[in-house]
């Protein structure tokens, strides 16, 4: 049976009526109002960023790049030579993709992307990074024991497939170009893009699902 | 320009809380405006994450975004004229504004 605790009840009553945002929200609001007031940033740019990454920019951008690389050898050559330049075809350059490098999975090599320092990620083509990418566990283990990490994501590599972990930095970000699955011959780019998962472009997914076709 | 049918929209929710998006937006905007470099941002965020880990904070999104805010506070202190005492004064002003503003109305300083 629960007991009545007058102090607890009073606290709940106070909490319900304060309307105070949580501590981190207040810290952000404090900083934002100070930097805006000094003219260090324009509030419209901050608001546009929030809208873009909440509503518009996601991993389907990267999927389009991969699908084109699969079907257009000339584009693929440019992508592998200089991904930052090549993605300008789509208008996807920007936020943290100034030095983008595309790395290709093959029958004998699998690529895995991590940022061991913090959370560097090619936001403008993959959108916000998933929570696990930012976790200290993934950041620590992706380089130390990549096969084990991959197994936890459901990716079991044959013994003759080597794994290379690519450590992102503020200067260089990576996108993995997964292998095009068999049975997708003749598919157009939109249909191909639909099967490219976000994780496959980070490297925590390998064999793409073609939907049983 | 909100377009609910945007074919390139993120398939899942990008942020758990609006302030998480605002914190990263602020960091990116400050970097792009040249107030600090991408490398300074990465190093400072990395150090804040590393400290959270050493302090035994749980390995989750809340810890991550708290480290983002800590890094932002440190970098604005190091590279602009915004000081910690100024932040304290402004924070108190926002709290007072929230407490005096009737529910549902915009909160202004």
**Res A1: pLDDT:** 45
Place of tokens 């990465």: B42
Give pTM, 2 decimals: 0.89
Active-site residue, A120 included: yes
The answer, yes or no, to whether residue B20 has pLDDT greater than 70, is yes
Asked whether residue B20 is assigned to any structural domain, the reply reads: no
Domain range enclosing A178 = 57-202
Q: Give domain status of residue B17, yes or no.
A: no
CA distance B29 to chain A (A): 6
Q: Are the beta carbons of B90 and A33 separated by less than 8 Å?
A: yes
Q: Are residues A166 and A74 in the same domain?
A: yes
Residues A52 and A156 in one domain: no
In-domain check, residue B3: no
Give yes or no: residues A50 and A62 share one domain: no
State whether residue B49 sits within 8 Å of chain A by CB. Answer: yes
Residue A148: CATH number of its domain: 3.90.330.10
Contact B91, A30 (CB under 8 A): yes
Q: Which residues pair with A113 in a beta bridge?
A: A166
Q: Is-catalytic flag, A136?
A: no
Cα–Cα distance between B19 and A24 in angstroms, integer?
A: 7
Q: Directed axis angle between helix A60-71 and helix A73-81, to 10°? A: 120
**A50 and A131 co-located in one domain:** no
Q: What is the ipTM of this complex?
A: 0.93
Instruction: Let me know whether A198 and A143 are in one domain.
Output: yes
Whether residues A141 and A189 fall in one domain: yes
Residues of A in contact with B53 (CB under 8 A): 136
Specify if A6 maps to a domain: no
B45 lies in some domain = yes
Structural domain count of chain A:
2
Question: What would the mean pLDDT of A159-163 be, rounded to a whole number?
Answer: 96
Task: Give the tens place of pLDDT for each residue, A163-188.
Answer: 999 999 988 999 999 999 999 999 99
**Domain assignment present for A33:** yes
Instruction: Determine if residue A124 is labeled as part of a ligand binding site.
Output: no
Instruction: Report, as an integer, the average pLDDT of B1-10.
Output: 62
Residue A176 β-bridge partners: A103
Please tell me if residue B26 touches chain A, with a CB cutoff of 8 Å.
yes
In a domain, B18, yes or no: no
* Pairwise CA distance, residues B94 & A17, whole Å: 16
Q: Residue A142 domain-assigned?
A: yes
pLDDT of res. A94: 75
Between CA B71 and CA B77, with CA B76 as vertex, the angle to 5 degrees is 100
CB neighbour list of residue B85: distance below 8 Å, 6 or more residues apart: none
- Report whether pLDDT(B1) > 80: no
| Last residue in a domain, options A12, A34, A56 | A56
Chain A nearest-CA residue for B91:
A30
Does the residue A16 lie in any domain?
A: no
Q: Does residue A151 lie within any of the structural domains?
A: yes
In a domain, B6, yes or no: no
Number of independent structural domains in chain B: 1
CA of A186 to nearest chain B CA: how many angstroms apart?
22
Residue A196 sits in the same domain as residue A169 = yes
Instruction: Give residue B70's domain range.
Output: 36-100
CA of B75 vs chain A CAs: smallest distance (Å): 11
A85 lies in the same domain as A161:
yes
Structural domain contains residue A212: no
Nearest to B6 among A55, A64, A117 (CB): A55
| Active-site annotation holds for A119 | yes
Do residues A156 and A89 share a domain?
Answer: yes
Closest residue by Cα to residue A98 from B37, B47, B21, B22: B37
Using the Cβ of B19 and the Cβ atoms of chain A, whether some distance falls under 8 Å is answered with: yes
Residue B48 forms part of a structural domain = yes
Query: How far, in Å, CA of A143 to CA of A165, rounded?
Result: 6
> Is A115 known to sit in a ligand binding site?
yes
Same domain, A91 and A181: yes
pLDDT 10s digits, A91-149: 988 776 679 999 999 999 999 999 999 999 999 999 999 999 999 999 999 999 999 99
Of A20, A32, A96, the CB nearest to B98: A20
């Amino acid at each position: 049976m629960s007991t009545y605790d007058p102090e607890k009840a009073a606290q709940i009553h106070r909490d319900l009526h304060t309307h105070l945002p949580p501590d981190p929200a207040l810290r952000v609001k404090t900083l934002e109002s100070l930097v805006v007031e000094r003219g260090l940033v324009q509030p419209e740019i901050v608001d546009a960023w929030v809208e873009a990454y909440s509503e518009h920019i996601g991993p389907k951008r990267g999927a389009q790049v991969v699908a084109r690389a699969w079907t257009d050898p000339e584009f693929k050559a440019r992508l592998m030579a200089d991904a930052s330049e090549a993605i300008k075809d789509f208008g996807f350059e920007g936020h943290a993709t100034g030095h983008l490098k595309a790395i290709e999975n093959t029958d004998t090599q699998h690529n895995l992307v991590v940022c061991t320092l913090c959370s560097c990620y090619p936001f403008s083509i993959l959108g916000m990074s998933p929570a696990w990418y930012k976790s200290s566990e993934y950041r620590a283990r992706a380089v130390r024991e990549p096969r084990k990490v991959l197994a936890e994501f459901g990716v079991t590599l044959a013994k003759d497939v080597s794994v290379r972990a690519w450590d992102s930095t503020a200067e260089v970000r990576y996108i993995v170009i997964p292998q095009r699955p068999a049975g997708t011959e003749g598919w157009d780019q939109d249909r191909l893009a639909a099967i490219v998962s976000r994780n496959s472009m980070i490297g925590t997914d390998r064999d793409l699902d073609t939907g049983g076709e | 320009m909100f377009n609910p049918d945007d074919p390139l929209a993120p398939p899942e929710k990008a942020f758990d809380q609006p302030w998480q998006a605002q914190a990263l937006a602020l960091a990116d905007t400050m970097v792009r405006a040249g107030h600090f470099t991408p490398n300074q941002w990465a190093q400072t965020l990395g150090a804040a994450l590393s400290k959270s880990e050493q302090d035994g904070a749980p390995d989750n999104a809340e810890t991550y975004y708290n480290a983002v805010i800590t890094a932002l506070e440190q970098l604005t202190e190091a590279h602009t004229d915004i000081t910690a005492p100024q932040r304290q004064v402004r924070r108190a002003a926002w709290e007072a504004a929230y407490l005096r503003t009737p529910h549902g109305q915009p909160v202004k300083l």
